[in-house]
Amino acid sequence: MIWISSIITPVWAADSPNYTVDIPCRFDGNAGQFHGGLAVVQNGGKYGVINTMGNVVIDFVYDNLYYNFPDAAKPVPGNYLIAVQNQKWGVIDNSGKPLIPCIYDSIRITGTGFAIVGKGRTVRPGPGSIDGVWGIFDLNTGQQVLPVMYANIMPINDSLTFSVFSGSKAGLVNSSGDFVAPLQYDNILSSDDGKLFTVIQANEAGVIDSTGKIVVPLGKYTYISEFKAGAALAQLPKKTGETYGKYGVINSEGQQVVPFEYGDGLVYPNGLIRMRLGSQTIITDKNGTVIFSGGKFDYICAVSGNLVFVERGGKVGAVDITGKEIVPFIYSGVREAKNGLTIVTAGDECAVINQNGKVVLPLDRYGNVNLWDDTGSILVVSAVTGRWGLKDISGRTVLPCEYWSIGPVNDNYITANNEKGYAVFNKDGDIVVPFGEFEYIGYHISESMVDVRKNGLFGYISLPGYVEQPEAWAQSEVERAVAAGLVPEDMRKDYREDITRADFCRLAINLIEIKTGMKADVFMNTRGMSERVSALITFTDTTEPVILAAGRLGIVNGVGNNRFNPTGTITRQDAAVMLQRTAKVLDFTEPPGVPKVFSDGGNFSDYAVEAIDFVSTAADKETGNSVMVGTGNDNFSPFSPYTRQQAYITVLRLFKSF
């Protein structure tokens, strides 16, 4: 037997320091987060940029510098900074080279290589609030793609298409600056996938695609919501004697999927649809198939993963998409649903339930409970002490309710403070930087570095590499996967984090190379796939060879507009599709057995149905475990996130299944 400790580096070495002072405290102003080995700092009243050794990369000559602008649609890549000099805005690269001169009154960087620049008067305090005119620059070429003459410009379609306003009219502009839809609409709304756009004109609604082609003409509907999971709520014009037009749902081709006979409705991101007429409510799947309907429940409170929280007789519980009761009807309300967790209330108490119906935080008189957006952590304040504590997604206490404030979990570390001062803890609750070492410690840890203050001056310390252990249920199979060489060495960490698209490609290609004993390009040549070696696969956001190889083999596709989104995460059904495609590359297409029937099968995306059948049938020959199993209560939970430890285990099971 191979013990896990022989494979995974221990979290701490007994004789190693818990942190090192990499940059002594010598700056007299603000100190920002590191981005790609660079950080914005203030000294002598001016801002500049330093590297991880403390060397000045950009001199202290700016009134302000921003790596992440507050209005950015997504995090701004580290190779661009917004620069402010003499109250005028511009853009520089991370070497200090000017890309856009500091002559504008506001700039928004979209996060995909474009900057929206504006000139005008400030209308309220804070960056970017001007009354003026706007244009667009391509930061990759330094060229202006749209002149500074429009009343407003908003990035949509993942910031590669823009809604542009002139006067009271809106049009659609592509990344080349061409109007694909003229300035004739009152408003333009994006969809969740950026492929379809709702347009509004004179109280009429229609739909166009990213080329400006009309999908749903104006005139039929007075309202169409943004599309989610390929569906949108729509409203017909009011008829004589009606107080309002009836609501229904259309799909991305403009076809009716829910009839227009309801008083209101809502389409959820996972494709579930709630429609209501008076006191009667129905829930359908994205194709309009009724899951449960009128009279069974009084009200739909929230949708969390594949659970639907509903009210019945004044009590709240949850059912799955077949209507089966998962969470008992003992609660009085729902406060918040996010990241697969739901805060429910009962009187003055609250609890947290995960998307499988498990109570991870039992009812108690918490003063407050927050579900953080991107860490899977639960921040709670004790009604007794009035202080904050931290629990993980399983409900395990990481930090007790003893702190005045607790920062977000970044790089597996947390900063907290109380009357003792500031300290840093790891995700296991172990203290890394003791209280009293510094007057202040920053809350936003990045690239294992955090700003600190001592004697009134700022510097940076670095924290040791943290290796998060797999959860107990996953440990033995993760051990087998690592021992088989299926997990690259630099991926043997952060086991409980969601896996990225790029890292899943690495797993798939690594499996193929281990299984065949050949590098991917050699394998393609020997299997009659030589044309794939030279196939033109280009993405604007990555040149990683392993991703291009996975693309050539048909294991993955882009996300549109020549982008791959390597840092994006995947859902369970996406994982099933990529696993099946990997198996097909290796000619494993028909595993023995019968596919499992999941109770939420009606919620699977069409492209994933065959793959989910495959992964529930194929099994590890040594253990008999299916490549992928359900999440409890006979659900597959197709839209739930997929963690690294789950990915390692399923790749192992696929590897051992043929």
Calculate mean pLDDT across residues 260-265: 92
Say if residues 225 and 201 touch (Cβ distance below 8 Å): no
Residue 576 covered by a domain: yes
What proportion of the chain, given as a percentage, has pLDDT over 70?
91
What is the maximum alpha-carbon separation in the chain? 82
Cα 408 to Cα 36, 100, 436, 464: the distances in Å are 20, 34, 21, 18
The radius of gyration of the chain from alpha carbons, rounded to an integer in Å, stands at 27
* Residue 279 burial (C-beta neighbours within 10 Å; 0-12, 13-18, 19+): exposed
Give the integer Cα–Cα distance in Å for 100 and 395: 48
Residue 507 covered by a domain: yes
Q: Which residue do the tokens 């604007």 mark?
A: 540
Mark 178-200 as b/e (b = at least 16 C-beta within 10 Å): eebbebebeebbbbeebbbbbbb
CB-side exposure of 492: number of CA atoms within 13 Å? 22
Question: 4 by DSSP, 3-state: which?
Answer: helix
Question: 103 by DSSP, 3-state: which?
Answer: strand
Say if residues 244 and 278 touch (Cβ distance below 8 Å): no
Give the integer Cα–Cα distance in Å for 248 and 394: 38
Q: Give 250-253 contacts, CB < 8 A, sequence gap 24+.
A: 250/216, 250/224, 251/286, 251/287, 252/191, 252/195, 252/196, 252/215, 252/227, 253/215
Cβ partners under 8 Å of residue 531, min gap 6: none
482 phi and psi, to 5 degrees?
-65, -45
Give the model confidence (pLDDT) of 139-180 as tens digits.
Answer: 888 899 999 999 999 887 555 788 899 988 999 998 899 999
CA distance from start to end of the chain:
23
Say if residues 63 and 145 touch (Cβ distance below 8 Å): no
The sheet carrying 179-185 orders its strands as 152-156, 161-166, 169-174, 179-185
pLDDT at 126: 57
pLDDT at 73 over 60: no
Say if residues 589 and 619 touch (Cβ distance below 8 Å): no
Give the integer Cα–Cα distance in Å for 262 and 247: 5
Residue 227 covered by a domain: no
Say if residues 122 and 128 touch (Cβ distance below 8 Å): no
pLDDT at 69: 54
Mark 134-156 as b/e (b = at least 16 C-beta within 10 Å): bbbbbbeeeeebbebebbebbbb
pLDDT at 2: 30
Instruction: Kindly indicate the confidence band of residue 541, based on its pLDDT and cuts at 50, 70 and 90.
Output: confident
- Per DSSP, the residues of 37-86 read TEEEEEETTEEEEEETT--EEEEEEESEEESS-TT-SSPPPTTEEEEEET
Say if residues 647 and 579 touch (Cβ distance below 8 Å): no
Give the model confidence (pLDDT) of 301-316 as tens digits.
Answer: 888 877 889 888 889 9
Number of domains in the chain: 1
Tally Cβ neighbours within 10 Å of residue 363: 16
Closest CA to 113 of 142, 90, 84: 142
Return the beta strands (E) in 167-272 as ranges.
Answer: 169-174, 179-185, 187-190, 196-201, 204-209, 214-221, 223-224, 231-235, 247-251, 256-262, 264-267
pLDDT at 74 over 60: no
Calculate mean pLDDT across residues 534-560: 82
pLDDT at 11 over 80: no
Calculate mean pLDDT across residues 185-206: 84
Residue 420 covered by a domain: no
Helix, strand, coil percentages in the chain from 3-state DSSP, rounded to 5: 15, 45, 45
**Residue type, position 366, single letter:** Y
Cβ partners under 8 Å of residue 19, min gap 6: 424, 432, 433, 461, 462, 463, 464
Instruction: Kindly indicate the confidence band of residue 8, based on its pLDDT and cuts at 50, 70 and 90.
Output: very low
The structure tokens listed for 246 are 């009836």
pLDDT at 216: 93
Give the model confidence (pLDDT) of 550-601 as tens digits.
Answer: 988 889 988 776 778 888 889 999 999 999 999 999 989 888 888 899 988 8
Question: In which domain, by residue range, is 524 found?
Answer: 475-655
Calculate mean pLDDT across residues 94-120: 88
Instruction: Kindly indicate the confidence band of residue 192, based on its pLDDT and cuts at 50, 70 and 90.
Output: low
pLDDT at 530 over 70: no
Q: What angle do CA 241, 245, 246 make, to 5 degrees?
A: 110
Residue 482 covered by a domain: yes
Interstrand relation of 98-104 and 231-235 (parallel, antiparallel or unpaired): unpaired
Calculate mean pLDDT across residues 38-49: 95
Residue 480 covered by a domain: yes
pLDDT at 456 over 80: yes
Residue 169 covered by a domain: no
Give the model confidence (pLDDT) of 278-293 as tens digits.
Answer: 777 888 888 888 877 7
The sheet carrying 397-403 orders its strands as 366-371, 378-382, 388-391, 397-403
pLDDT at 220: 92
Rounded to two decimals, the pTM is: 0.70
Dihedral angle of Cα 194, 195, 199, 205, to the nearest 10 degrees = -120
